[in-house]
Amino acid sequence: MNDAPRGTSLNRRELLRVGAEPSAKMRNDEGIKHFKAGRNYDALLQFNQANLADPTSGEIHFNLGLALWNENKKERAIKHFKQAKKLARGNPKILQSKLIKKILEEN
């Protein structure tokens, strides 16, 4: 079962910064739509494609971490949450995320 409440995860998804690589932004936005609709597998596919297009985006790593966490792929999710913090570029929604903090402290 998912340790992070779905409502919390859905409210903490991240949009990409202005000027992001266009296909990464499109895939991330599509992933968010799927994630919000409860289609986690489809969201995961889109976030993976976004990550391939822009592996330097903390927001994509954050979203990919959420989707992986919901698929119970926790080790991979934790790696993406760590990357999200590393690549956050000052984004307070990532750097101050209670969800990431809790997951990283417990794992």
pLDDT at 4 over 60: no
The pLDDT of residue 107: 87
pLDDT at 51 over 50: yes
Averaged confidence pLDDT in the chain: 86
Q: Which amino acid is at 29?
A: D
The CA distances from residue 52 to 11, 20, 88, in Å, are 24, 13, 17
Q: CA gyration radius for the chain?
A: 12
Q: Which uninterrupted H or E stretch holds 32?
A: helix 22-36
Average pLDDT rounded to a whole number, residues 10-22: 56
Q: What residue has token string 């959420």?
A: 66
